[in-house]
Amino acid sequence: MGNIEIVTIIIIVANVLVSLKGFNDTDFFERYKFQIGPINAGQKDRMLTSGFLHVDIAHLAFNMLTLFFFADVVINWFGSTKFLILYFISLVAGSLLAMFFHKDEPYYSAVGASGAVVGVLYGAILLQPNMSLYLMFIPIPIPAYVVGIGYLLYSIYGMKSRLGNIGHTAHFGGAIGGYVTTLLFLPDLIFTETLMVILLAIPIIILFVMDKMGKI
């Protein structure tokens, strides 16, 4: 990666400042987190503000490190403005998918930039499918698309089993946002990276087929 872009720094700083405020101000955290009940009551801003809150330093650090490593790929292809559009579409897409799957659960809540960050990651994989990643405790490089597909399949499992205190639905929605926005910005990928476009679509198709069958 080259020098970190100013737009990435701005997003990281915004996440850090808002999260620190939330760590130290419970009322602030409760007012701006994602929660189905208040959103249905009219507080739609939570669908955006929740993407800048985190539960703790580790949660914040993991999301910002992931953003740091993959933002430049998207920025180098699209520039800062389109990167920001992709980032915020992914964030909102994560919230919308959470609303779709948890609409009847007024106390369902979540926070974190994970939806936006996974959207950036999915976009980066589409743009640079030959990337390899090193995962913790695995000393060999793994193709990025394998990680992306595996992560979304794990997210489906997490959504179905309610695994852990993790917003799996927002992660998945963010990936859909990043995937669709990347293809809208660069539709030639459908022809130049056809196999990758199809492979990355498989978990998305599986999710909605399972939902249609009542399996989620």
| Nearest partner of 43 among 34, 51, 52, judged by Cα | 34
Helix (H) or strand (E) holding 80: helix 80-102
| Nearest partner of 82 among 3, 190, 183, judged by Cα | 183
CB burial of 58-81 (b: ≥16 within 10 Å; e: otherwise) equals: ebbeebbebbbebbbbbbebbeee
> For the segment 104-158, what is each residue's pLDDT rounded down to a tens digit?
999 999 999 999 999 999 999 999 988 887 766 667 788 888 888 888 888 888 7
User: Contact at 8 Å (CB) between 7 and 85?
Assistant: no
Q: Read off φ and ψ for residue 7, nearest 5 degrees.
A: -65, -35
Q: Read off φ and ψ for residue 64, nearest 5 degrees.
A: -70, -35
> For the segment 34-93, what is each residue's pLDDT rounded down to a tens digit?
999 999 999 999 999 999 999 999 999 989 998 998 999 999 999 999 999 999 999 999
> For the segment 153-212, what is each residue's pLDDT rounded down to a tens digit?
888 887 777 655 567 888 899 999 999 999 999 999 999 999 999 999 999 999 888 888
